[in-house]
Each structure stands twice: as structure tokens, then as C-alpha cells.
Amino acid sequence: MTNKYEKTVTGDTATLTVRGKNYELPIYAGSSGPDVLDISKLYAETDMFTFDPGFTSTASCESSITYIDGGKGELLYRGYPIEQLAEKSDFLEVAYLLLNGELPTADQDKEFKKAITYHTMVHEQLVRFFGGFRRDAHPMAIMCGVVGAMSAFYHDSTDITDPQQRRVASNRLIAKIPTIAAMTYKYSIGQPFVYPRNDLNYAENFLYMTFGVPNCEDYNVSKTLADAMDKIFILHADHEQNASTSTVRLAGSSGANPFACIAAGIASLWGPAHGGANEACLNMLSEIGSVDNIPEYINKAKDKNDPFRLMGFGHRVYKNFDPRAKVLQQAAHDVLEELGVNDTLLDVAKELERIALEDPYFVEKKLYPNVDFYSGIILKAMGFPTSMFTVLFALARTVGWISQWGEMIEDPTQKIGRPRQLFIGETERNYIDVDKR
Ligand code: SDX
């Protein structure tokens, strides 16, 4: 899909004075959110770089896919509020929306779902890659390896200049990522892989491949669990230029094939400050153990000398509630009630949330629960081990990554990303022979 949206060149400028000389920086406006200053000619004109480690004030690209209003706690996929999509849509319909910019008609929806369903199997040779891993390998390590290895199998969809090949690669990744994710789980518990079924929807098929056992007995997918799984996928699908999406874009900017780019995104998502937070959050709740221990951990989180942070709290963009956390909080309650699970961790989570939101430290720093705070509780109740939590995040985010990758490739102004630096190291010096050191 070629981008039909354009930034507005406002005609206004910001005046920058550098050592007595003035420079005019053009101001552009989008459809929502902060305006931007175009500094792309700053180095050529001033021989200076801007400095913004962590990109706290830097827009890396133009995008029309996802918008977050951090102050209001709003998240829109192609303009549609996440709450409405979570309630009314399904993951593959949301995937179509993210990829194409519009909700599908009934025929488009049917055609897309068929295309995905009939690409869910992986090349049988790919199965051999799993045998090279230790059974106790972290599932994210296997995901990085196997998804990257897809570059070695699907040569007919790695020419990024061909729109048809880009579409095939996108569909293959969206279709096969649940199969690979389920295979990482089966491999870790020593059970045989379960082949996908074409009569199940996306979430049902994933649960079937994960928890079904071939030939031993039928696995009847629970509608409640499948609906909760589908909602969790929707909530995790995309999120502007977060660390892993920026990784995918930067890898893609060099012309790397989409499978390698998605593997890079998986690697970045693995970190506990990012997608690994859901696993870290559940481990933290387990470590806290009971409501009585919460004050001790709140104090640790506030202690500047203690590296401990409340996992599942805080966000670079949200300075209000993460809207995904709100949806997941209700979903957690519904799933645990439906399953008859009385998980004390949910009690600990709710009390931790209540205390933290009243504590001046968290109020002052605008630290609210994020998407990872409740997802782990639901996933644990559904039977997933904590080591699989980030795998599920990667499964869902694959459609966001590949949508953002496609938008970048189709951007006519796209060029290879190559940040500069503020060099603070040694200035030039001569080599010293070893006998003189
Ligand atoms: C995701 O970017 C995305 O969109 C990501 C994501 C997506 O969908 O792709 O939303 C998914 O990654 C959600 C975030 C999951 N991570 C966690 O839950 C880990 C815990 N959170 C923190 O590590 C932190 O809040 C970050 C990494 C999420 C955000 O970090 P920032 O924006 O760089 O903020 P910061 O680290 O500079 O913190 C600002 C202040 C600091 O105090 P001061 O130095 O100003 O005194 O807030 C404090 C921090 O010490 N702080 C916390 C805290 N998070 C920030 N203190 C205690 N507990 C926390 N969780």
C-alpha cells in the first residue's frame, strides 16, 4: 500500500542561534501529536550534531500506522482506538488494518484470512533447526535463531524491491510466527510438534499447536481462552517507534531481507526494559509473594542506589494509564474467574497497583502500570510458563514490525539509518612498541 498521507510544511521556522549565527529550522505538522523541527541540514550548515541519547525528543520517521497520546493514555491503530478494536475486532482483521490502512471488507477479510491460514505450515527442513538447541534454551533464543533462519528457506520472498515478494514475506511471517512460537514451547517440554489446522482461527490454532498432544487425545480449544488470546494479540500488535520497531526499521534501512529484520526485532524485544518486562513482572510478583511484602519492594524501587525497578510500571511515552493495561486488567479478572483460578499474584498485583498509584514518587514521575503488568497474570492462568511470555509478545508484534518495515521500504525518501556521535575518546596518538609501554 503506498502511503496516501503527507506531513504539512507549515512555512513556520524555529530560529537557532549558534555562536552568533542564526539558522532557520523548518517546522512540519502531522495529523496528531507534536510538530517537528527539520534538522536534517543542521550538520551541513553548522558543522554540529544534535545530541539525544535514547531518542527522547527525536522523530525518526513519518508514519501513519499507530499513534499514542501519552498524556491522555490513548492508543490508535490507523485512527481506531485500541479499546474498540479489542472489543469488536479480531487479530487478523487488525493485522489487515495495520498492513493496509483500512478495515477490510467482508471479502477482503475472508481472502486475507485464507492467505494466512494456508501459509501456517513451516518448511519441514526448518524443524531440524530446533534439534540444535538445548531443551532448556530460552524460547526467545530459539525464536531469534529460527525466524532469522527463514531467510535461508524462503528465497522467493526476499527481494524487497518487489511489492509482491514483500507481501508474500509479510504473509509468511504473520502466518508462521504462531507455528514457530508453539514449536519453541513444545521443544522446551520435550513434546512432539503439532501441525497447524486450517479449520481453526488464528488464536485457536495457536493454542491448539501449543497445548494439543497429537494422537493421544483431542484438544478442544476453549472459546474463552481463544478470545483472551486474540485480545492479547490485538493489544500487542503495534506501538509506534518503540525499541524493537526502531530496530526493525534500522535493519531494514540497509536493505536486509524482512526475515532477518524481524529476527533483529525479536532480539531487541527480549530485553527486560521492553518486551521482556512481562516475564520480569511475573517473576517480580512471585518474588514479592504476598501483599505484606509490597512496601519493602516499593521502597527498593524508589531507592536511587538500588537498581530494582517495578517491572510493568512506567513508560517512555505514556504519562497516564497505558490503555492496554486497562483492557488487560479486566481480561485478567474475566479469565481467572472463568478458569476458577484464584491466583494470589492477581491480589498482589492489584494491591501493588493501588499502593504505587498513591505513592508520591510514582505520582510525581507519572509511573503507571503498562501493558506488561497484567499480561503475565493472564498468560500464567492460561498455562504458559513465564519464559513464553515474551514469545507471545513477539508473535503479536510481528504484524506491527512488518507493517512498519513495509511503510519504510515504500517511503521514497527512505535512506540507510546512520546516527552520528559525540566523540569523547582519545585524540590521535602514535603507536607505542610493546617494550616501551
Ligand atoms: C514496553 O516503547 C514502547 O512502546 C514499549 C512497549 C511496546 O508496546 O513496544 O510499550 C512495551 O516495553 C513497555 C515497558 C515495559 N518495561 C517495564 O515495565 C520495565 C520497567 N520500566 C522502566 O524500565 C521504565 O519505565 C521504561 C524503560 C519503561 C521507560 O524508561 P524511560 O522512559 O527511559 O524512563 P526513565 O528510565 O528515564 O525513568 C524516569 C524516572 C527515573 O527516575 P529519575 O532518574 O528521573 O530519578 O522514573 C524512574 C526512573 O528511575 N522509573 C522507575 C520505573 N520506571 C522509571 N522507578 C521505579 N520503577 C519503574 N518501573
The residue whose CA is least distant from atom 55 of ligand 1 is: 314
Q: Ligand 1: which of 365, 371, 390 to mutate, judged by most atoms within 8 Å of the beta carbon?
A: 365
Find the mean pLDDT for residues 365-372.
Answer: 90
Q: Is the CB of 273 within 6 Å of ligand 1?
A: yes
- Looking at every residue in the chain, the average pLDDT score rounds to 94
- Biggest distance spanned by C-alpha atoms of the chain: 79
Half-sphere exposure of 308 (CA within 13 A, CB side): 16
Residue 54 CA to ligand 1 center (angstroms) comes to 12
Q: Ligand 1: which of 60, 311, 315 to mutate, judged by most atoms within 8 Å of the beta carbon?
A: 315
In this predicted structure, the answer to whether residue 337 has a pLDDT above a threshold of 60 is yes
Q: Is the CB of 310 within 6 Å of ligand 1?
A: yes
Q: Is the CB of 119 within 6 Å of ligand 1?
A: no
Alpha carbon distance 188, 200 (integer Å): 24
Find the mean pLDDT for residues 13-42.
Answer: 96
Find the mean pLDDT for residues 19-30.
Answer: 96
| Strands in 85-181 per DSSP E | none
Q: Is the CB of 354 within 6 Å of ligand 1?
A: no
- Closest approach atom of ligand 1 to CA 274: 12
Q: Is the CB of 239 within 6 Å of ligand 1?
A: yes
Alpha carbon distance 98, 348 (integer Å): 35
Q: What is the pTM of this model?
A: 0.94
Q: Is the CB of 372 within 6 Å of ligand 1?
A: yes
Q: Ligand 1: which of 98, 367, 375, 392 to mutate, judged by most atoms within 8 Å of the beta carbon?
A: 367
Cell numbers of 262, please? 524481524
In this predicted structure, the answer to whether residue 432 has a pLDDT above a threshold of 50 is yes
Question: 3-class DSSP state for residue 281?
Answer: helix
Q: Ligand 1: which of 302, 316, 352, 363 to mutate, judged by most atoms within 8 Å of the beta carbon?
A: 316
Q: Is the CB of 134 within 6 Å of ligand 1?
A: no
Q: Read off the pLDDT of residues 69-105 as tens digits, 9 standing for 90 and up.
A: 999 999 999 999 999 999 999 999 999 999 999 999 9
Question: 3-class DSSP state for residue 397?
Answer: helix
Whether 193 and 183 have beta carbons less than 8 Å apart is answered as yes
In this predicted structure, the answer to whether residue 358 has a pLDDT above a threshold of 70 is yes
| Confidence at residue 320, expressed as pLDDT on a 0 to 100 scale | 86
Whether 366 and 320 have beta carbons less than 8 Å apart is answered as yes
In this predicted structure, the answer to whether residue 365 has a pLDDT above a threshold of 80 is yes
Q: Read off the pLDDT of residues 264-306 as tens digits, 9 standing for 90 and up.
A: 999 999 999 999 998 899 999 999 999 999 999 999 999 999 9
Q: Is the CB of 399 within 6 Å of ligand 1?
A: no
In this predicted structure, the answer to whether residue 3 has a pLDDT above a threshold of 70 is no
Percent of the chain with pLDDT over 90: 83
Quickly state the pLDDT bin for 1 (edges 50, 70, 90): very low
Alpha carbon distance 328, 278 (integer Å): 12
Q: Is the CB of 315 within 6 Å of ligand 1?
A: yes
Report the 3 state secondary structure along 166-218.
HHHHHHHHHHHHHHHHHHHHHHHHCCCCCCCCCCCCHHHHHHHHHHCECCCEC
More confident residue, 13 or 5: 13
Find the mean pLDDT for residues 166-184.
Answer: 98
Q: Which of 88-102, 188-202, 246-260, 347-361 has the lowest mean pLDDT?
A: 347-361
Q: Is the CB of 316 within 6 Å of ligand 1?
A: yes
Taken in order 179, 185, 187, 192, the sign of the CA dihedral is negative
Q: Is the CB of 237 within 6 Å of ligand 1?
A: no
The residue whose CA is least distant from atom 16 of ligand 1 is: 273
More confident residue, 338 or 186: 186
The residue whose CA is least distant from atom 40 of ligand 1 is: 365
Find the mean pLDDT for residues 383-387.
Answer: 94
Residue 181 CA to ligand 1 center (angstroms) comes to 27
- Residues involved in catalysis: 315, 372
Whether 393 and 302 have beta carbons less than 8 Å apart is answered as no
| Confidence at residue 351, expressed as pLDDT on a 0 to 100 scale | 92
More confident residue, 395 or 331: 395
Residue 267 CA to ligand 1 center (angstroms) comes to 19
The number of angstroms, rounded, from the C-alpha of 209 to the middle of its chain's C-alpha atoms is 22
Find the mean pLDDT for residues 314-337.
Answer: 90
Q: Which H/E stretch holds residue 233?
A: helix 223-235
Percent of the chain with pLDDT over 70: 99
The residue whose CA is least distant from atom 1 of ligand 1 is: 274
Alpha carbon distance 346, 291 (integer Å): 10
Q: Which H/E stretch holds residue 223?
A: helix 223-235
Residue 367 CA to ligand 1 center (angstroms) comes to 8
Find the mean pLDDT for residues 381-396.
Answer: 95
